[in-house]
Structure 1
């Protein structure tokens, strides 16, 4: 299957693509509102809730705007590379965990994105009130999978 046909089919089958799809598929986190699906031997992630999807997209958009310097990107609308998207998603969730649980070590696997964001909105009132400096520190600190040593 060529890439264009796959993308068209994927968008037709998955009208609510999870905002954290990359980090879920790379097994850095899970979400109670997500459901995996397979198309042509590839995996995708579907969000089962409009509320959850909107909440996640809002957090990512706000975080991306706040983390422009850390991501070395001034354009909020430009497509991020896979590495930068992973830094934003995984680093942002780790920062959110740190903001909510400052005395706990950051887990390797964030158990439930939806629950974590709900705890944050309960604690801080609104997503705009989150301590974005803490989140951005984790975005900057996150190092994705490192390449092996060249021979």
Structure 2
């Protein structure tokens, strides 16, 4: 078993810019043309090679959280659960894809298209994107093992 503190320290040393939307990418809800994949302690880690692209993703993530705080009944300052983060990321990226009428969810390309179409990430059609965040549900797990 890997010491979680040691893992996080090693991850920080090996990839100083971890992918902001790592959960969505690992769950195959999105892709990114810039992502660099590597393995660390039998886990797959995703990193961003571009500081400006990483900053754009952080900005988009903050906007997802800011705009969806009230509809999701989140309390500022309270740590977000994994399920809430996945809902923000996956639902937000799906909403952005639909708002831009893009063919697929490539995070880097979507952000570029959003800036080209709207000039700023703050000027996106947020009600439509937030509706997708609220509506997003994780995949239902199927029961494992023999069925009666």
Q: TM-score, length-normalised on structure 2?
A: 0.89
Partners of 2:81 and 2:97 in 1: how far apart? Answer: 24
> Residues of 1 paired with 2:71 and 2:87: CA distance?
10
CA distance in structure 2 between the partners assigned to 1:71 and 1:36 by the alignment: 32
Deviations 1:2-41 (A, max 9, x none): 1111111111111001110111111111101111111011
Deviations 1:72-107 (A, max 9, x none): 2121x5432111111111110111111111xx7xx7
Q: Secondary structure at the match of 1:43?
A: strand
Query: Which of the two has higher C-alpha Rg?
Result: 2
Q: 2:71 & 2:138 partners in 1: Cα distance?
A: 15
Which of residues 112, 123, 131 is equivalent to 1:137?
131
State yes or no: 1:100 paired with 2:94. no
Give deviations 1:45-82, integer Å, cap 9, x for gaps: 1001111100010011011011002332121x543211
Q: Which runs of 5+ in 2 are unaligned?
A: none
Q: Tell me, which stretches of 5 or more residues in structure 1 are unaligned?
A: none
Q: Which residue of 2 aligns with 1:73?
A: 74
Q: Tell me if the contact between 1:92 and 1:139 (Cα under 8 Å) persists in the aligned partners.
A: yes
Q: Give the CA deviation at 1:149.
A: 5.6
Distance 2:20 2:78 in 1: 16
- Root-mean-square deviation (CA, aligned residues, Å) is 1.8
TM-score by length of 1: 0.88
Structure 1 residues 58 and 73, CA gap change in structure 2 (3 angstroms): same
Residue pair 1:25, 1:44 contacting (<8 A) in 2 also: no
